[in-house]
Amino acid sequence: MTHPTSVDKAFDTSLAEIDSSNVNTSFSSTDSDTISDDLYPEYTYPALHATDEPAPTPQTQSQSTGPTLPPPQPTSPPLQNSQPIQHISTQSAYDQWSTIYDTDGNMLQSIDDLELATLLPTFLTLVLSSIPIHIQPSTLSLIDLGCGTGRTTAKMLSYCYEFLATDPSTGSSTSPAIARITGLDFSQGMLDVAVRKLSALPALPGNAGQLTWRVGQCDCFPTATDPLADPLPESEGVERESADAVVSTLVLEHVPLPAYFATLRALLRAGGYALVTNMHGEMGQVSQAGFVNEQGVKVRGTSFVYSVEEAVGEAERQGFEVLDVRERGMEAEDVQEGKVGRRGLKWVGVKVWYAVMVRKM
């Protein structure tokens, strides 16, 4: 297990994130465009070349829960060309990727951001409505599991401020509340970027009470390598079954399903909620993406391909109630309107993303 380290940051808002045929060995399950980052322009990194892969053939996926499948086993896919490929641990791959992760135009991140713009506020409204109103002040505990560079953590901070400042059901001001957001990841390189990014966020005005954040490095899914291990991540401030909600975006593809949902169960309180987004299996069956380093070598970690049915089925087997399932295909308008880079054109008509919202029973 990676020895946990943490960085804490607080600000008071009153003053101021199987089958072997179903496995990829790419730590990124989508192609990238080399573009600038408009959201966080203070981070400028040298542009690297994105990989080119064969165009996909659209398939049909159902949202119904399918039969239990054998656990996936990572294998190496056939080489598509003569370009050298380096297979390393996923953690090492993300450490290397961290310097350009926010600026390499990852198409799936763009789709994830588009969907989270509406899905995350809906999710947080559900979470806040589940907290007993007699608890004053309310204390909300949120975890961004596999937070990476803090892409989603920053969104959580913004939305939490808005929701703590007003009653989601009436729009009126509420009593002061406390929200603690914890970002967990195994890559120190990604967390270093997250700390810089979150620290640079402007102070939030208003009287929403105290909103705090911290990030910690740890083994987020201990049972992935040791089935007998405690599934609770070992990180400062993380307590068993205490989180009101867990958000985990584009992480599931890197973790065996049983280990992933075992960690969710260990983190969430009874009745707690989780929002999980992932690369769609329809895309993953034909995608072998990665990034090319400065030496011209494709760098890849390990990635599993999970269908919607597999993810939903495992969630239910581990005692979660599935509340909502959403799927998203690539549309020509996404590219034409500049929402996604030009490499998105080859994915038009293919389902590339899905989300599962669950509640711990």
| Calpha distance 237→7 (Å, rounded) | 11
pLDDT band at 176 (very low <50, low <70, confident <90, very high): very low
pLDDT at residue 186, rounded to an integer: 97
Greater model confidence, 331 or 43: 331
Residue pLDDT, tens place only, 241-250: 999 999 999 9
Are 314 and 262 contacting, i.e. CB atoms less than 8 angstroms apart?
Answer: no
Q: Given the structure tokens 């086993």, which residue do they identify?
A: 73
DSSP secondary structure letter of residue 72 = P
Count up the domains in the chain and report the number: 1
| Calpha distance 292→298 (Å, rounded) | 4
Q: Nearest to residue 301, comparing CAs of 101, 9, 44?
A: 101
Q: Nearest to residue 224, comparing CAs of 261, 190, 188?
A: 261
pLDDT band at 287 (very low <50, low <70, confident <90, very high): confident
Are 344 and 334 contacting, i.e. CB atoms less than 8 angstroms apart?
Answer: yes
89 pLDDT higher than 80:
yes
pLDDT at residue 165, rounded to an integer: 67
Q: Given the structure tokens 């509406």, which residue do they identify?
A: 118
Which of 114-123, 169-178, 221-230, 239-248 has the weakest average pLDDT?
169-178
Which of 6-20, 117-131, 176-190, 235-249 has the weakest average pLDDT?
6-20
Summarize the confidence of residues 326-349 as an average pLDDT: 96
Bin 234: left if φ > 0, else alpha if -120 < ψ < 50, else beta: beta
User: First and final CA of the chain: distance in angstroms?
Assistant: 29
DSSP secondary structure letter of residue 107 = H
Token pair for 205: 């005005």
Highest mean pLDDT among 14-18, 78-82, 126-130, 311-315: 311-315
Burial class (CB in 10 A: 0-12, 13-18, 19+), 129: exposed
Cα dihedral 100, 104, 110, 112 sign: negative
24 pLDDT higher than 60:
no
Token pair for 316: 């239910």
Burial class (CB in 10 A: 0-12, 13-18, 19+), 209: buried
- This prediction has a pTM of 0.78
What average pLDDT does the chain have? 78
Q: What is the CATH number of the domain that holds 302?
A: 3.40.50.150
Token pair for 271: 């009745």
pLDDT at residue 330, rounded to an integer: 98
Greater model confidence, 144 or 158: 144
Residue 329: partners with Cβ closer than 8 Å, 6 or more residues away: 349, 350, 351, 352
Q: Nearest to residue 50, comparing CAs of 31, 35, 36?
A: 31
323 pLDDT higher than 80:
yes
299 pLDDT higher than 90:
no
Burial 52-70 (b: 16+ CB within 10 A, else e): ebeebeeeebeeebeeebe
147 pLDDT higher than 50:
yes
% of residues, the chain, pLDDT over 90: 53
Are 145 and 249 contacting, i.e. CB atoms less than 8 angstroms apart?
Answer: no
3-state SS, residue 256: coil
Residue pLDDT, tens place only, 90-102: 999 899 989 988 8
> From residue 122, how far is each of 261, 354, 355 by CA, in Å?
22, 16, 13
Summarize the confidence of residues 268-281 as an average pLDDT: 97
351 pLDDT higher than 60:
yes
Q: What is the signed CA dihedral for 322, 323, 328, 334, rounded to 10 degrees?
A: -150
What distance separates the 2 farthest-apart alpha carbons in the chain?
64
Summarize the confidence of residues 208-219 as an average pLDDT: 87
| Chain center to CA of 79 | 28
Containing structural domain, residue 168: 5-360
pLDDT at residue 307, rounded to an integer: 98
Summarize the confidence of residues 23-41 as an average pLDDT: 36
